[in-house]
Amino acid sequence: MEPFRSTRGKGARASLAPAEASLLRSLVSQVIALIAPDAPSAFTDSDGVLARLDAELTGLGEDQAQTPDDPVLARLLPDAYRDDPDASGEFRRYTESSLRSVKHEAAQLMLDTLPEEGGRIQLSHDQALAWLKALNDVRLALGVRLNVTEEFEEQWDRLDADDPQRSAFEVYAWLGAVQESLVHALA
24-62 tens-digit pLDDT: 999 999 999 999 865 333 333 444 444 444 444 444 444
Alpha helices in the chain (DSSP H): 18-35, 46-58, 71-76, 85-113, 125-146, 152-158, 164-186
Contact in structure between 135 and 20 (CB atoms under 8 Å): no
What is the pLDDT confidence band of residue 92, given thresholds at 50, 70 and 90?
confident
- Residue 68's alpha-carbon distances to 27, 117, 120, in angstroms, are 20, 35, 38
Side-chain-side CA neighbours of 2 within 13 Å: the count stands at 12
pLDDT, position 41: 32
pLDDT, position 53: 42
pLDDT, position 64: 55
pLDDT, position 128: 97
Side-chain-side CA neighbours of 37 within 13 Å: the count stands at 20
b/e per residue, 100-115, with b = 16+ CB within 10 A?
A: beebbebbebbeeebe
Count Cβ atoms within 10 A of the Cβ of residue 97 and give its class: 0-12 exposed, 13-18 middle, 19 or more buried.
middle
Average of per-residue pLDDT across 61-75: 75
- The two most distant CA atoms of the chain are separated, in Å, by 60
- pLDDT tens sequence across 124-181: 999 999 999 999 999 999 999 988 888 878 888 888 888 888 888 899 999 999 999 9
| Number of neighbours of residue 79 by Cβ within 10 angstroms | 16
pLDDT, position 60: 46
Please state the pTM of the whole predicted model: 0.81
pLDDT, position 100: 92
